[in-house]
Structure 1
Amino acid sequence: MQKNTPYILFLTFVLLVTVSFFLLIKDFLLACFWAIILAVVFYPVYQWINRYFKNSEILPLFLTMLTIILVFVIPLLIITLMITEESTAYYQKIQSGEINPQVYFQDTLALLLPKFNKLSHIQEISVEQISASAGNAFTQAVQYIAQQLPALTQNILNLIVQVALSFYILFFLLRDGQQLIRKLIALIPIGDKIEIELFERFTSVARATVKGGLLVAVIQGSIGGLLFWFVGIPAAFLWGMLMIVLSLLPIGSALIWAPAAVILFLQGYTLKAVILLSVGIFVIAMIDNFLRPRLIGKDSKMSDYLVLVSTLGGISWFSLTGFVLGPIIAALFITFWDILGKYNQASNS
């Protein structure tokens, strides 16, 4: 017992120092997380570029990081600013009375529920009441998005620091990532085979979520937004952004374009409804089946219900970062229990 005392004491100090270190960098953990995710997703790109510039160490790194900026950072920044600008303009129109969401919802409900007021068991609820509630909820949602611009402007310095730190860490992860993984495998005392399996699981889910899920969602939402604009639906850009968010989930963007097609049909715009429904079924819905397997390749997949629950839980816990972190935690959870099951089977046999 006494022989183990120094080792236990040492492990205690290791744990205390580790916790202290994470508390020290807690404000920058988000930057570290995105640096790791970007390194995992774009490391194959770095390897591909490195094959053409074997005599230079810096140039492949520079070109890879430039690719990340052009493919990931700039589009994300543009989309964020456009959402905020569109929301602000739309909210100003609501406040000036140019747009009245309550009237829109009232007209829609009147079309969908022509006999609503004749239902005896809910006589106390009227179309006007529901439309007022829906209109207020829509207005508040638009207002919330519009109010994020001042907050974004106030935190611009912090955002610049976080992005700069992410790319600084990313540089070293791309260059020394394989060595770091080998060191971690050697240091973590739970068995090399288990650690390699965990790293592979983390890598596959991160790539599947970002490369497959995010890109497919952006394509589907962009097509949906353009389609809404083409058929003349108000706030097409905002609806497109909402379709991007829903496309990240197994629920899909059909929750937006399918009801919109029904409403257009009930309003008498049959051609527009047919166009919306046709593009939705044969283009937007098929993109998921056509592009996702090619973008994800052999990366691991999880059940749709698990993706849905873990993504929603991740967003609830970690804000927008949760759409990546949630599925990763769920995948590691499954992997740990699978490994535990294998060990139990091996012990019993």
Structure 2
Amino acid sequence: MYGKLETRTFLAMLVGVSLAFALLMKPFFGPIFWAIAIALIFHPIRERLAKRLGDRPNVIALLTLILCMIIVVIPVLGLVTSLVAEGLSVYQKIQDGELRPGEYIDRVNQSFPAIEAFLAQFGVDFAEVRDRASNAFVGGSQFLAKQALGVGQNTFQFFLGLSLMVYLAFFLIRDGSKLVDLLIQALPLGDERERLLLAKFAEVTRATVKGNLLIAIIQGALGGLIFWLLNIQGALLWGVVMAIVSLIPAVGAALVWVPAAVYLAATGEIISAVILTAYGTVVIGLSDNILRPILVGRDTKLPDYIVLLSTLGGIVMFGVNGFVMGPLVAALFMAFWGIFIREFGEIPGTAVHNMADTATETQQSEKPRQD
């Protein structure tokens, strides 16, 4: 009896201390999460270097981290800096009266009065839509201006987070396999289940980060290029914005180029509008429709609609980290239920059986490589 009391007390204190530690780490969630993502994504490169250089873990981890900085961190920082600078410039032009978003919307309405009539059929007031769109544009540029000011005022905090991410990534790249083995020993779920879930975690994180970021870079570059060729103001800004909104599946960059094409048509630049529409539909649209299922949906083994819903839900719940966290939670949900169905009984229904099959396939495919 006394032994059971000791065990329960210890477990209760273990849970309490673990929760306290989690709360302690909460302010550093972003750097910790991205350090884990970097370690997972660059693990294959680390393994290749290990085969060539032998047993030199510190050198291998350092070389892998330097490669990550060159390929990912520095370009992303450059894009963010460009976005903030361009946004600040746009906000300043709005403040000076050089840009009037409301007038652009009125010009579209004058050229296409059918839009107002169409919205009226559904009880939507065009003037209200105009004001909201104008306020959203002003608010977005104001947000970027505040971010520019905030980065300047909180430079130390920004570089502290970046340094912490790089520091943690080094140790995770170096000792990641040992930490995985330690985690498997600690979790009371059964080694087979733990390896399956950890493999799923690694697989989804790699697929969503690599896939979504690659798609974002491609669509942003393609969008910025056509805006520059058509002599549209702020091509760099809109290219970066398209890269960001392309993280939203199914809609993505169309949130930017469709209104731009409508405005070009409204101002009489029909040829430019047709070129932008064709380019956006064929080039930008197909790059999303072809690459996203290959890079994200296929590797995560999630249906397209689950990827869409989990991405949107993740962005709402976790902010910018949600484009990875959302599909990750969805994949773990599918994996847990797949294990339950396989081990504790059959549940009728095609979707449920597919869920179990997905979990089994993941386990079989990931068993040889424990990354």
Using the size of structure 2 for normalisation, the TM-score is 0.84
Give matches, 1:76-87, under 5 Å.
Answer: 76-87=76-87
Amino acid at match of 1:136: N
Distance 1:4 1:237, change over 3 A: same
Rounded Cα–Cα distance in structure 1 between residues aligned with 2:115 and 2:71 = 51
Per-residue displacement from partner, 1:271-308 (whole Å, max 9, x unpaired)? 21232123223322232355446656962232233222
Match of 1:238 in 2: 237
Amino acid at match of 1:181: V
Following TM superposition, by how much is the alpha carbon of 1:246 offset from its aligned partner in structure 2, in angstroms? Answer: 2.5
Distance 1:119 1:260, change over 3 A: closer
Distance 1:123 1:223, change over 3 A: closer
Pair 1:45-2:45 in alignment: yes
Give matches, 1:85-104, under 5 Å.
Answer: 85-104=85-104
In the alignment of these two chains, the number of paired residues is: 346
Amino acid at match of 1:184: L
Match of 1:310 in 2: 310
Per-residue displacement from partner, 1:41-95 (whole Å, max 9, x unpaired)? 1111111223332264333222211111111111111111111111111111111
SS in 1 for 2:300: coil
Amino acid at match of 1:4: K
Rounded Cα–Cα distance in structure 1 between residues aligned with 2:296 and 2:101 = 40
Following TM superposition, by how much is the alpha carbon of 1:199 offset from its aligned partner in structure 2, in angstroms? Answer: 0.6
Pair 1:72-2:72 in alignment: yes
Match of 2:8 in 1: 8
Q: Percent identity?
A: 39
Q: Which runs of 5+ in 1 are unaligned?
A: none
SS in 1 for 2:284: helix
Amino acid at match of 1:272: S
Match of 2:187 in 1: 188
Q: Is the 8 A contact 1:217 1:248 kept in 2?
A: yes
Per-residue displacement from partner, 1:294-343 (whole Å, max 9, x unpaired)? 65696223223322222222222222112211221121122112212222
Match of 1:247 in 2: 246
Give the superposed CA RMSD.
2.7
SS in 1 for 2:135: helix
SS in 2 for 1:199: helix
Q: Which moved more, 1:188-197 or 1:165-174?
A: 165-174
Match of 1:28 in 2: 28
SS in 1 for 2:249: coil
Following TM superposition, by how much is the alpha carbon of 1:238 offset from its aligned partner in structure 2, in angstroms? Answer: 3.1
Following TM superposition, by how much is the alpha carbon of 1:253 offset from its aligned partner in structure 2, in angstroms? Answer: 1.7
Q: Which moved more, 1:53-62 or 1:201-210?
A: 53-62
Distance 1:112 1:10, change over 3 A: same
Using the size of structure 1 for normalisation, the TM-score is 0.89
Q: Is the 8 A contact 1:314 1:325 kept in 2?
A: yes
Pair 1:201-2:200 in alignment: yes
Rounded Cα–Cα distance in structure 1 between residues aligned with 2:288 and 2:106 = 34
Rounded Cα–Cα distance in structure 2 between residues aligned with 1:115 and 1:168 = 54
Pair 1:286-2:281 in alignment: no
Q: Is the 8 A contact 2:314 2:327 kept in 1?
A: yes
Following TM superposition, by how much is the alpha carbon of 1:154 offset from its aligned partner in structure 2, in angstroms? Answer: 2.1
Rounded Cα–Cα distance in structure 2 between residues aligned with 1:121 and 1:248 = 32
